[in-house]
Copies of this chain bind each other. A is one copy, B any other.
Amino acid sequence: MTIFKYISNTFTALLLALSFGSVQAQDIKVVYHVNTGIESAAAALGNVRNHLTADPTAKITVVTHGPGIDFLLEGAKDSKGREFSGLVGDLAGKGVQFRVCNNTLVSRNIDAGKVVMEAKIVPSGVAEVARLQAKEGFVYLKP
């Protein structure tokens, strides 16, 4: 191998390494930030469902805090009396992740056992919204 060939090969490897990040990041990751009450939850979940229909490879995480957690409590119903559990379970089956803020549980005195099994409890909803963007490459959307 000549030295020019060596240099050329090394550059190629370097350029591949540099571009690999963007090549890998083809699937869009989106954090849906939900902190409004149960009356707007059905619309927010409808947005998530439409999003997945338009972009089936999107990775969506719904982070909730404040009144936004209510649709993720056992037995929660929308304004038409339908339980949220069916829609939440359906979206979870499609890969959507749900997060509930522990600060909210504590300040509102809600037992963690009331949170549906599809949702994961995180220490702070707002810190999670920021972390997903800053550290995990998520983009933001407030429905």
Nearest B residue to A127 by beta-carbon distance?
Answer: B54
CB distance from A27 to the nearest CB of B (A): 9
Copies of this chain present in the complex amount to 3
CB interface residues, A 4-60, toward B, < 8 Å: 4, 6-7, 10-11, 14-15, 18, 25, 28-30, 33, 35, 43, 47-48, 50-51, 53-55, 58
A118-B103 Cα distance, complex, nearest whole Å: 27
- 17 other A-B residue contacts (CB within 8 Å) besides A50-B124, A54-B127: A6-B7, A11-B14, A14-B15, A18-B18, A28-B130, A33-B142, A50-B126, A51-B126, A51-B130, A53-B124, A54-B123, A55-B124, A58-B130, A130-B139, A130-B141, A133-B140, A140-B141
